[in-house]
Structures are given as C-alpha cells and as structure tokens.
Amino acid sequence: MDEATAITIILFVILFPIVMTPILMSVSGRSEKLRNILAVLTSAITFIMVLTLYPMVVRGDIIQHTFFEILPNLEISIRLDVLNFSLTALASFIWFLCAIYSLDYMAEEHGGSRYYPVLIFTLGSCLGIFLAGDFFTLFVFFELMSLISYILVVHEETEQALKAGYKYLVMTIIGGLALFFGIIITFELGGTVSLGVGTIIEEGSLLAFLAFICFIIGFGMKAGMFPLHVWLPDAHPVAPSPASALLSGVMLKTGAYGLFRVIFNAFSIEVMQTSNWDIVLGVLAVITILLGSAVALTQNDIKRRLAYSSVGQMGYVLLGLSILNENALTGAMFHIFSHAFMKSCLFLAAGAIIWKTGKRAISDLGGIGREMPFTMGCFSIAALAMIGIPPLNGFLSKWTLGLGALDANATIYVLVLLISSLLNALYYLPIIVPAFFEIVGEEHHGHALQFKVQDATPKMLASMIILAICTIIFGLSPINIPFNLSQMTSDFLLQGGLF
Amino acid sequence: MDDYLLISYVPLYLVLVPMLAGIILYFFPENQMLVRKAGCFFASLFSLAGVIWLLPTILEGNVYCYLIEFMQFGLFFKVDIISWVFAVLITLVYFLAVLFSFSYMSYEHNLRRYYSFLIFTLGAILGVVFAGDYFSLFIFFEIMTFSSFVLVIHKQDREAMQAGSLYLYMAIMGGLALLFAILLLYGCTGHLDMVPALEALGNQRFAVLLLFMIGFGIKAGLVPLHIWLPLAHPVAPSPASALLSGIMIKAGAYGILRISLILFRPAGEGSVSDWSFIFNSGYILMWIGIVTMLAGALMALLQSNTKRILAYSSISQMGYIATGLGVAVFMGLEGAMGFTGSLYHIANHAVFKAGLFSMIGIVYMLTHELDLSRLGGMARKMPLVTITFIIAALGIAGIPGFNGFASKTLIHDSMLVAYTNLDIYGIFVAERIFVIASALTICYFVKLFYGVFLGRVPEKLDRNYSLPLSANFVMVVFAVLVLITGIFPNLLLEQFFIPGAQLLGFSDSSLGHLYGFGFFEWYPLRKMLVVILLALFIYLPASARGWFDWSPPPWFSIQKLVFQPLPQLILSFFFREVNINDMALGQFYEHVDNDNAKRESYLDELETFPDPAHDEAGQSAYYMSGKGLDRDRRLKEQFKSFFWWDQEQWTIKNLNFDNLLLAFVLGVILLIVFSFGN
C-alpha cells in the first residue's frame, strides 16, 4: 500500500462517519430499521477500513500529511503511527460492538433518531482525535467529540441526567480552554504544534511548565484524573448503557492518548525527567488510583461503581506514563486495551441487567446470575480481569506495569497497584458472588433449583461475549496482537517518536 | 541428576485434560449425570495414570516443558522428584475423592457445578506443583483459589457464604502478597526460575521472604493466618473437605518448601550473613510450626463439631510439616532428616486426613449430624467405617505400625539431632511442646472416636444404614494405604523422599543416617510410649471434669483481637477521608458551576445593601455547615451499610477462638528473645 492510498483511507475513516450522520438523520424519518442497519454498517466499514492499515503500521511506516495551513505553521494535518493506529483500531472495534448492542437496547427507548446519528458522529470525531497530525487538529476534534457526546450523556433527559450533563459540559469547556491555552504556549515556544517534528519544547522553563499544567488539565479532565474526575461518576452512569460503555471504554482514552502525545511530542522524556514533571504525574496517578478504587467501594449503584472503577483504572495508565520506561509504557498501552475490553463488557452487562430487570442497586442483584447466566458470566470474566486474576488480560497489564515500576526502582508504585487490586476485589466480588451463589427466596436443601432463565437478547449477548472472549484471549494467547502493538508503541516512543 | 534434560509434554497434558474436562462437562445438561460422572472418573484416572507413567522418567532426571510466549512471559513446567511426590498424592487422593463423590453427592443439589469445578481444580493444583518458575506457579495458584472457592460455598447457606468470603478475601490477599514477592524477586534477579538466589536478593531478602510466607502461609493455614481454615473446610461437602484438607493446603506447604529450601539458599558457598539469615528464618519457621501444632491441637480438643475437629487437626498437622521444614532450613546442609520427615508427613497427612474426612462424611451423609453430643454408638451401625476410622486415627496419632509414626519420628528425631548439634535451649523446649502436641492429638481423636462411634445410639439415629459400594471401596483403600505405609516405613522413604533430599543438595552424611532407618527399634518406640502415657494422663482427668467442653470467651481470639479491628480501623479511616474529599471536591465544583445565577444576585445585593448581604453570607455559611454535617452523617450511614467488613457479619456461630493461642504467641516471642539472648 502506498502513501497516497493510506492517506485516502485515513481521510475516509474520519470523514465517512461524519458524512453518514446527516444521511442517518434523514433516513430515520422514513425507516427505523434502515437507520439502525446503516449505523451498524457505518461502524463496521470504518472498523474494516482501519484494519486495512495494519500491515503498513506493522512494517513501521509513518504517515504525516498536511492538507493546508490556516496560519503559517498552524495546519490541518493527519498522522498515522503505531500509537494512534492502536487506539483507532480499538475505538472502531468497540464502537462496532456497541452499535450492535444498541439495536436491541435502544429499540424501546425514545429518541433513537437522535441517538444513532450522534453515536456515529462521535465515532468520526473520536477517530479524528486519534488520527490528527498536530495539536491544533487534535484540539478541533477533541472539542467536537466532547460537545457532541453531551447529547449521549443527557439522552435520558431526566433531571439527574441534565444535571450531570451540565456538569460535564462546564468541565469540558474548562478543559478545552486549558488545552487551547497549552497549545498556544507550545506554539509560542516551539513555533509549531505538529506531531511530526519530534520534540517541540526542548527545555523546561516556567512557561513550558505552565503549558504542561494546561495540557494536564485539558487531557487529564477527559481521562478522569484527580482532581478533575468529578464529572465522570455523574455523567457515565446516566447515559444509556452502550453510550456509557463507549464513554468509559473509549472516550476516556482520548485523554490518555493526548497525554502520550504531550509527553512524547510536545516535550520529551528528558524534559519530563530533568524537570521532575513525571513526579507530578505520578503523584496524581497514585491519588487517582486509590481514590477511584476506594470510592467505588462505597457506591451502591452498579453503574456508578463501574464509573468510579474507571477513574481508578485510568490511574494505572497515568502511572505507566509517569514511570516512562519500556515495560511501564507497554503496560500503560496494554492497559488502555485491557480496560477498553473489560469496562465496555462490564457496562454492557450492567446495561443488560438494568434493561431486563430494572435493578440498579447492587444489594438487589443477588441471584441474578442464575436468571441471566450469560450476561453475568461475561460480567464476571471482565470483573475478574479487572481484579487482575491470571490468565486474563488485566493481570498481564498489571504485571507489565509492575515490572516497569520495579525497573524504575519504585517499589511504592507496585504496592499501590496491589492495594488497588485488593480494592478491586473488594468491590467486584460482592457483585459477582451473591449474583451466582446467594439464595433468594425459599429453597429446600437437596433439591435442584428451578430458575427462569431470561437472558438478554442475542444481539446484546453477542457483543458482550465477544468482549469477554477478548479479555480471555488477549491475556492467554501466545499471539497477542494488542500486546505486540503495545510493545511496538513503547519501543517506537522511546526511540524518539518521530521520523 | 540435575543436568539431564528431558523435554516432555506429559505435564502439560496432565494439567490441561482435567481443566478442559471441567469446562466441557459444564456445558452438558444438568440431567446427564452418567456422562458427567464418567468424565470426572476418566479425567482423574487419566491424571493418576499419567503421573505414575512419568515415574521411570522422573527417576532418570527432571522433566521440562516450555510453552514459550504463552501469556507473553511463557509458562514453564518442570517436574522433579519432589513435584512428582506431590503430584502422585494429589491425583491419588483426587481419584478416591471423585469416587467418593459419586455416592456422597447423590443427595446434593447443583451437581453440574460441583463436578465441573471439582475436576477443574485438579488441573490447577497439578499446575501449582508442576510449575517450573514462580510466574507459572502464581498463575495456577490463583486459578486454584478461585475454583476451590466454588467448592467451599457449595451449600450456599449463610454459614457457607460467610466462611467462603473469608476464605476468598484472605486468599486474594495472600495472592497479592505472593505477586508482590514475585515481582520483587524478578526485580532483584531478573528471572523467575526456582534456583538458589539468596545473594542476589540483597537487602530485600527479608521483605521477599515475609511476603512469600504470608502468601503461602495463608494457604497452608499457619498460625496466625489460619483463621479461614476452620470455617471453610467444614462447610464444604465432605469429598471437597477431604481435598481441601488433604491436598489443597499442601499447595501452601509446597510453596514454603520451594522457597525455604531452594530460593533462600546461597547459589555458591554463601557468606556468614547469608547462613545466619537462613538459620534465623528456619528457626522462626520451626517456632511458627510449633505454635501452629499446639494451637491447632488445643483448639481441636475444644470443638464439638466433628468436621471442625478435623479442620483444626489439619492446622495442627501443618504445624508438624512446618516444624520439620524449619529444622531442615536452619540445619543447613545437614537438615535432610527434617526435610524427609516433613515430606513424609505431607504424604501421610494427605492420606489419613482425606480418609478421615471421607469417613466422617459418610457418617454425616447417613445421619445428617455433625455434632458430637448428638452422635454416638455408630460402631454397631457401621462396623466398616469404625474399623477404617480406627486405622486412620491411629495413623494420625502416630502409633507404631501406622503411617504417621514414621514421619513424626523423623521430625522428632531431627529436632533431637538439632539440639545435640547446636545446643540451643529453644529447640529443647520446642521438642517438649512437640511431645505435648502429639499427646493432645491422641486426646482429641479419642474424644472424636468416643463421641461418634461409642456410647449409646441416640433414638433418632437408631435405624439400619446401608453403605454404598463406592464409599466402602474408598475407605478401605485409604485404610490399606495407611497400613502399608505404616508397616513398611522405609519403602517410601528410600524410594522417593531420600532422592528428593538429594536433589536439594543435603550433605551425604545427613542422608546416610536415613538409609535403613530403624523405626521399630526401642528408642523411637519408647518415645511413642511416653506420648501415649501422657495422652492418657491428660485425657482421663480432663474428660472426667469436662474440660473439653469449656469454651473461651468470644472476645478472646486472634480474629476478634487482631484481624477484625485492625483492618476495620485502617480501612474505615481511609475510606472516610477519601469519600469526604471526593464529596467536598464535587461540592466545590457544583458551587463553581451551578450557582452562578445565585452569585450574581448576591453581587447585586452587595452593591445596594451591604447588611443583608452579610446576613445572607452568614446564613449560607450556616446552611453550608449544616449541609456538611448532614452529608457527613449520611456518609457514615452509607459506609456502615455497605462496608463488607461488618461486625455483624463476622460473628459466626460456633467460632470459639483460641484464647490460649495468644498466650502461646506471647510465650513464643519471649522464648525467641530468650534463646537469641543466649
């Protein structure tokens, strides 16, 4: 595949969902079925097109293409390397599954004609963030995605949803402004904001530190980093479950991706380490991990608990980013993959339970595992992966992160990871264990239990089961594409991340 | 014999076949019991046959099996003679337990889940003992924890769920300690192979040792980490109890054996500080063993639930094993006798404890009674169970002619040798306690036997019982194993345990004593006679005055004094702070975001009327503080209601915890101080 074809594909991947949005809108007036099929098809085609780029990326090719300049040195451009390919593939895959899941989940909901176009538009803008070639383009798509996903957050239109949505919106705007400020400072100091030039700011001055803080606020807000996580546990649970899965599974990762780019393209490892900015990130990451896990323990709403768990898990990625060595970066990158599979699966399963039984409180979920064995089975696998039980993928990412922390002689980070694992166990096992083993109602010893199995629909189950299988395979299998991509990414970033 | 490399996939098949059988059997419908039983039967038979088939190869050298890239870091199996001894015990007891399940479980519910997890766990345990590096070991250890959890809570009543969750959380904590230790080890040495690495560990040796001991000690039920064991083992169905007590706690012992005798050894000659570290760790391990042995025996004496007596007895017997290992560690290269003694005891305990649980299980299956006061006179009703029970109990009591005698003699003699060589008074005291604990073992088995099999038959249970054939077969096999080992004690010792000791590099002189060891000479027999007389001396007056029915006050136990309040304190403080911070943060943002309109009107008023604005401010401050208090109160309630470490949940009936235990822990600390002071 030559470069021109690749650029066309990248452009297609970004623009196709965006172009499909008005089409979906116009179709939805005539036929709901056609609209739904089109939405799934769009995400499927996007995913397949992303996959066609895989051989090129594995070969080590890098594409950096500028379309035009708005101002001198401020351009609209795209970029493809192994880092953003990984995230693009991940995002479009999860999107595809969530679109399938939505078919049944949203069938009885209101506002389907709003939901599907927005879902697809968000896909386009999210891929735009990942494939952007400079910070300015990234910023444009970042704001686009943040604002559009507001519609997903407030979809239910309840008072609670509107309130959470308002909080989300205000925080997003604060984050966006901070990001914009950071980009301006970077432009001022380095004369460019392109991702193709390697290190933009080469030494840590006060102004550069200000830029770093602005980036941290902007991207950290999106990634749910302490103390900017407050919107997350409100906004994620109120959205419809497939949207929650996307918000937690994929959209949080845009923040982490941004920080990757900031650390390796706006600055460099040397700047980070000589100016001790990695310690700032490390401290924030530790607080985020412990806070997210600890607060999750006290939640009784299942989706809120999952949302707080997301906060904690994103802390792992930030921790890997603050350690900045090969194993830690591999771990951080692989945890992005792992967390996307695990958390999407958990949210989809929780959504299926709420959809089927209407139960949201964890204390009511006793015995649900026998009514919905497959849903709860997927939930359990993903939750065990979250705790870090071998041989699931969560264990692999924790192990790799732990090795990275030890390479950096930071035993305390390992301890934090293990404490967080314990807390994960403490808040996931009280969901799983009663769900399967608690006896609800009357039962006589020695008699087989009769349960009415009423599981979720096949389409919903299919997406959950695929995600659950992913958590198993990507922990166990010797041919582990996400892990290889993570290793390639960390090698690539440590070698300078340009060419 | 270490140089000879044999690459074989047999260990892999032995691990995978039971696991796959478990997974496949789960997908058969509930009513196809024949397929399920046949699947379990053949999978366990396959493992047993496979392990025995490995024997000629093992005697030539170690078997290796690499699975490169599997789980990214590679799984690695390595079977040496020590692993093989464990593996053959595991598969043998498993095979018998599966057979026993056919009759025992026929009245139970949820058989699909039971059989699937039963056979799946076999693969996991075999994985633990076959693992060639710590990474693989950890993986199978965790899988074993989770699959055996399902066996523990099989009954699903309140008691089982509580015991199960205590087991699960403690096991997870143990697993994390293990993971931490393994990561630290990897950080120090750069590999995870099971080779001596004491020098490479440097300053972190203490932390690594402690973490490993916590991780494996929880599984092995060593005091003070044993608290889950007397709860979890009795609530499982009897075949599963037999496996938990007979086999699964041995996984912990296996881990302790591997780290204390292999990992914490100098790779070369070793410096003086290395050897003093080894000596101290072995000495402490021996004392942990002694305390465990005595505490378990004392607690077993005070129980009235038959299965709980056996569970405490397991703790006590694990103490013997740990003592033997401790002696082997601190004797350095001369410790072959302690090592072979504890390996022997591991084998013996697996056989007689699994047998005893099966026999008590049969009594329970037929009478549905576990309480000693409501049982009695079963000797007339079930003569075969009585005979096999006597044989197994004589085995555990260490009576000459039965299997426990040989291993206990070896452990005891190793302590005497250590005392003669090193002349440390503490070892002498430990040896005395060993004798007392052995006497107590006889006492509680007399109590158990008397309560179940002798005396008057309660009216409710006065009917004819017919025993299923498979159960009879299982019991007879256990009894025969006890007898054969007991009558020919040197057979297993010379065939398997001494080669195992050779593998660990013990010196020839210490190994030389073991060939043709005179078990039936006057000296060991005399020691046993002393123990029996002491037992009579304790049992007769104590049972006459009813001391065994005494129960310690509920607050005076390790669990109530340490395990319950300490984490509660730490965690509650931690969560309170974190939650308050999180909520305060949320509130802060809310005020920044949401109240702009209100703030604007405040500003207007501030411009026109300063005084009302002050009032407003005062009022809103008052309101805020009230709201804060309210939030705090609600938080407390929320925390109380959702926090799993609840006081209420943890008060489990029939849990009369060791008050004497604490006194002994104190005593041990004093003794250690005392003996190091010399």
Question: With contact defined as beta carbons under 8 Å apart, do B271 and B383 qualify?
Answer: no
Q: Mind telling me how many Å the CA of B255 is from chain A's nearest CA?
A: 18
Contact call for B142 and A399, based on CB within 8 A: no
Contact call for B139 and A390, based on CB within 8 A: yes
Torsion B325-B328-B329-B330 (CA) sign = positive
CA A43 to chain centre: 17
User: How many beta carbons lie within 10 A of that of residue B60, not counting itself?
Assistant: 10
Distances B231 to A245, B238, B339 between C-alpha atoms, Å: 40, 14, 30
First to last CA, chain A: 19
Is pLDDT above 90 for A139? yes
Angle between helices A326-357 and A458-476 (to 10 degrees): 160
**Measured between CB atoms, does B68 come within 8 Å of chain A?**
yes
Question: With contact defined as beta carbons under 8 Å apart, do A156 and A268 qualify?
Answer: no
pLDDT digits over B233-242, tens only?
889 999 999 9
d(CA A480, CA A486): 10
d(CA A193, CA A71): 12
Say how many residues make up chain B: 678
Least confident of A436-445, B402-411, B479-488: A436-445
- What pTM did the predictor assign? 0.85
**Measured between CB atoms, does A273 come within 8 Å of chain B?**
no
**Measured between CB atoms, does A396 come within 8 Å of chain B?**
yes
Is pLDDT above 80 for A402? yes
Give mean pLDDT, residues B32-50.
89
- Tell me if A469 is assigned to some domain: yes
pLDDT digits over A444-454, tens only?
554 445 567 77
- Tell me if A351 is assigned to some domain: yes
Give mean pLDDT, residues B244-267.
87
- Tell me if A60 is assigned to some domain: no
Is pLDDT above 50 for A11? yes
pLDDT digits over A209-267, tens only?
899 999 999 999 888 888 888 888 888 889 999 999 999 989 999 999 999 989 888 88
Distances B116 to B25, B30, B56 between C-alpha atoms, Å: 6, 11, 31
Res. B217 pLDDT band, cuts 50 70 90: very high
Angle between helices A302-323 and A206-223 (to 10 degrees): 150
CA A276 to chain centre: 27
Say how many residues make up chain A: 499
Give mean pLDDT, residues A398-411.
89
Q: Could you give the 3-state DSSP secondary structure of residue B131?
A: strand
Single out the residue of B294, B297, B349, B344 nearest to residue B324, CA to CA: B344
Is pLDDT above 90 for B510? no
Structure tokens at A107: 């069938």
Query: Mean of the per-residue pLDDT values for chain A?
Result: 88
d(CA A244, CA A41): 21
Identity of residue B356:
L
The residue behind tokens 């007397």 is B230
Q: Where are the domains of chain B?
A: 1-152, 153-559+659-677, 565-644
Torsion A222-A223-A224-A228 (CA) sign = negative
**Measured between CB atoms, does B637 come within 8 Å of chain A?**
no
pLDDT at B624: 76
Least confident of B41-55, B149-163, B234-248, B535-549: B535-549
Give mean pLDDT, residues B215-231.
88
Structure tokens at B352: 């007689």
Question: What residues of chain B lie within 8 A of the CB of A475, using their CB?
Answer: 71
- Tell me if A96 is assigned to some domain: no
Q: Could you give the 3-state DSSP secondary structure of residue A191?
A: coil
Q: Would strands B75-79 and A63-71 be described as parallel, antiparallel, or unpaired?
A: unpaired
Q: Which one-letter DSSP state was computed for residue A265?
A: I
Identity of residue B434:
F
Alpha helices in B61-133 (DSSP H): 81-104, 111-130
pLDDT at B109: 77
pLDDT at A59: 85
Q: Could you give the 3-state DSSP secondary structure of residue A239?
A: coil
Q: Residue B593 contacts by C-beta under 8 Å, 6 or more apart in sequence?
A: A166, A167, A170, A171
CA B509 to chain centre: 33
Distances B524 to B59, B110, B552 between C-alpha atoms, Å: 31, 49, 36
Single out the residue of B210, B211, B190 nearest to residue B200, CA to CA: B190
- Tell me if A138 is assigned to some domain: no
Compare B551 and A321 and report the one with higher pLDDT.
Answer: A321
pLDDT at B633: 78
Alpha helices in B331-466 (DSSP H): 336-367, 378-381, 383-397, 403-422, 425-453
Q: Residue A152 contacts by C-beta under 8 Å, 6 or more apart in sequence?
A: A115, A118, A119, A122, A239, A240, A243, A246, A247
pLDDT digits over A255-280, tens only?
999 999 898 888 888 888 888 888 88
Question: With contact defined as beta carbons under 8 Å apart, do B192 and B276 qualify?
Answer: no
Least confident of A216-220, A318-322, A338-342, B376-380: B376-380
Res. B651 pLDDT band, cuts 50 70 90: very low
pLDDT digits over B247-257, tens only?
999 999 999 99
For B360, phi then psi, to 5°, come to -60, -35
Q: Could you give the 3-state DSSP secondary structure of residue B76?
A: strand
pLDDT digits over A287-312, tens only?
899 888 888 888 888 999 999 999 99
Is pLDDT above 60 for A28? yes
Cis peptide before B553 (omega within 30 of 0): no
Q: Mind telling me how many Å the CA of A434 is from chain B's nearest CA?
A: 9
Residues 533-592 of B with CB under 8 A from A: 574-575, 578-579, 581-582, 585-586, 589-590
**Measured between CB atoms, does A294 come within 8 Å of chain B?**
yes
Question: With contact defined as beta carbons under 8 Å apart, do B246 and B154 qualify?
Answer: no
- Tell me if A463 is assigned to some domain: yes
Residues 588-627 of B with CB under 8 A from A: 589-590, 593-594
pLDDT digits over B95-143, tens only?
999 999 988 888 777 888 889 999 999 999 999 999 888 988 999 999 9
The residue of chain B with its CA nearest to that of A230 is B586
Res. B527 pLDDT band, cuts 50 70 90: confident
Structure tokens at A428: 């996931």
Q: Would strands B75-79 and B63-67 be described as parallel, antiparallel, or unpaired?
A: antiparallel
Distances B132 to B14, B76, B397 between C-alpha atoms, Å: 15, 5, 35
The residue of chain B with its CA nearest to that of A432 is B165
Compare B609 and B440 and report the one with higher pLDDT.
Answer: B440
d(CA A347, CA B438): 56
pLDDT digits over B178-187, tens only?
999 998 888 8
Helices (H) and strands (E) in chain A, counts: 21, 2
User: How many beta carbons lie within 10 A of that of residue B190, not counting itself?
Assistant: 8
d(CA A127, CA A93): 11
A498: containing domain: 291-440+451-499
Alpha helices in A224-358 (DSSP H): 232-238, 241-246, 252-261, 269-274, 277-297, 302-323, 326-357
Query: Mean of the per-residue pLDDT values for chain B?
Result: 83
Mutate to test the interface with B, among A162, A284, A298, A374 (most CBs of B within 10 A): A298
pLDDT at A278: 87
Residues 199-258 of B with CB under 8 A from A: none
Question: What residues of chain A lie within 8 A of the CB of B105, using their CB?
Answer: none
Distances B411 to A31, B108, B338, B418 between C-alpha atoms, Å: 82, 41, 5, 11
Res. B605 pLDDT band, cuts 50 70 90: low
Residues 171-200 of B with CB under 8 A from A: 172-173, 176, 179-180, 183-184, 186-187
d(CA B280, CA B293): 20
Is pLDDT above 80 for B555? no
Question: With contact defined as beta carbons under 8 Å apart, do B24 and B40 qualify?
Answer: no
Question: What residues of chain A lie within 8 A of the CB of B31, using their CB?
Answer: none
Q: Provide the number of structural domains found in chain A.
A: 1
Q: Could you give the 3-state DSSP secondary structure of residue A68?
A: strand
